[in-house]
A = this chain, B = another copy of it.
Amino acid sequence: MSQKTVYIVGLGLIGSSLALGIRRDHPDYRILGYNRSRKSRDIALEKGFVDEATDRFALFASQADVIILAVPIEQTIDFIKELAQIPLKSTVLVTDAGSTKLAICQAADAYLKPAGINFIGGHPMAGSHKSGAIAADVNLFENAYYIFTKTAATKMDALPRLTDLLSGLHARFIEIDPQEHDRVTSQVSHFPHVLASSLMNQAGDYAFEHPFTNNFAAGGFRDMTRIAESEPGMWTSILMTNPDAVLERISEFQSRLNEIADAIRLRNSEHIWNFFDKGRQTRKEMEIHKRAGVDSFYDIYINVPDQEDVILEILELLRGISVVNIRINEENREDIAGILQITFKTREDLDRAFQVIRDHTPYQVTIT
């Protein structure tokens, strides 16, 4: 590969983590960074994520072999326009990290293609409750999907150059059409955020006249509204740049609500049963039940008392068995929540854990 200088535009969580991932497999590359605010710039310099940093976007652009735009969607589009005006290396490759792809790819086609600039859209599907360079994590994208979207401005070498550059992320690279990206993410991410916030707003308003609403919300409600706490600015940008797909999902969903409302109105219990059963069956077949490269998860459920060090006691018994996940749901036992739930990678690990806990603790233990 020829590129030696990478310019990362935006040193937040995503940009800084990308820098760490690039450094892992390409320690000899020069990494330059842009960030508007000083804080993340200073951290990135101090921790060595980047070799040099600026708050003037245009400053490093002409030195770069690869430019990665890791800023909010609107700003990504503005920078794409600006890049068309700046003298760049003839072999430069531009990509981005925005959560919607169509609007960004259209901007690339409109501004970069006429200038002969090589561009491919990118969406590393990861995030965190944390933000800023301070939260940078070389493992952030491990096993996550990293989607590339080709446009009319994309040259043949774009995809192989980027998958080589980003190999240290250990992500799952995949290439799809930008419009298809926006459709699929509208269904699994953008529209669900609309639903979660709508439900949260509805319950909040209902609580004014029905105060127990605040008290009786249990595990199911909590899980359904968790994403309603996401940062409003990012989700506003997403809806603003993916309006058609989201509107289509809303409208289609309204028809489904009408249908189930009709069934309730008609007291059609068979229709209602089939509605719930279909959701149950469909979910069981989804990848959310699976793990990259592994067929499925294996869960054990242990009834533990509310005592200090009880989890420690159990993990000591399981020493040497690889635990994929662990969670307690003891503060709220409504719905299908577990007690102490431990997830293993293999059936063998699960069986060993089951035996050990059954033989060495007084706690009730079950496997699903």
A residues contacting B by CB (< 8 A) are 125-130, 135, 137, 139-145, 176, 180, 183-185, 187-189, 191-204, 206, 210, 212-218, 220-233, 235-236, 239-240, 243, 246-247, 249-254, 256-258, 260-261, 264-265, 267, 269, 272-280, 282-284, 286-288, 291-292, 301, 303, 305-306, 308-309, 311-312, 315-316, 318-339, 364, 366, 368
Of the residues B199, B232, B252, B311, contact of A273 by C-beta under 8 Å = B232
For residue A253, which residue of chain B has the nearest CB? Answer: B202
Q: Are A185 and B216 in contact (CB under 8 A)?
A: yes
Q: Are B291 and A221 in contact (CB under 8 A)?
A: no
Chain B residues within 8 Å of A278, by CB: 197, 200-201, 204
Task: Enumerate 21 A-B pairs (CB-CB under 8 Å) in ascending A order.
Answer: A126-B333, A139-B303, A139-B305, A141-B333, A184-B212, A192-B220, A202-B252, A203-B282, A204-B279, A221-B288, A223-B226, A225-B288, A229-B283, A232-B273, A232-B277, A235-B272, A309-B319, A309-B320, A312-B318, A325-B329, A327-B327
**Least distance between A346 CB and chain B CB atoms (Å):** 13
Q: Are B195 and A224 in contact (CB under 8 A)?
A: yes
Q: Are A291 and B331 in contact (CB under 8 A)?
A: yes
Number of copies: 2
- Max chain B Cβ within 10 angstroms of own Cβ: one of A210, A278, A288: A288
Q: Are A128 and B180 in contact (CB under 8 A)?
A: no
Given contacts A236-B269, A276-B230, A336-B229, contact A199 B210 (CB under 8 A): no
Majority-rule SS of A interface residues: helix
Chain B residues within 8 Å of A212, by CB: 176, 180, 184
- Max chain B Cβ within 10 angstroms of own Cβ: one of A194, A246, A291: A194
Q: Are A188 and B223 in contact (CB under 8 A)?
A: no
**Least distance between A254 CB and chain B CB atoms (Å):** 6
Of all A-B residue pairs in the complex, the 4 with the closest CB atoms, nearest first, are A197-B279, A204-B282, A232-B276, A228-B279
Of the residues B125, B236, B292, contact of A216 by C-beta under 8 Å = B125
Complex Cα–Cα for A232 and B265 (A): 18
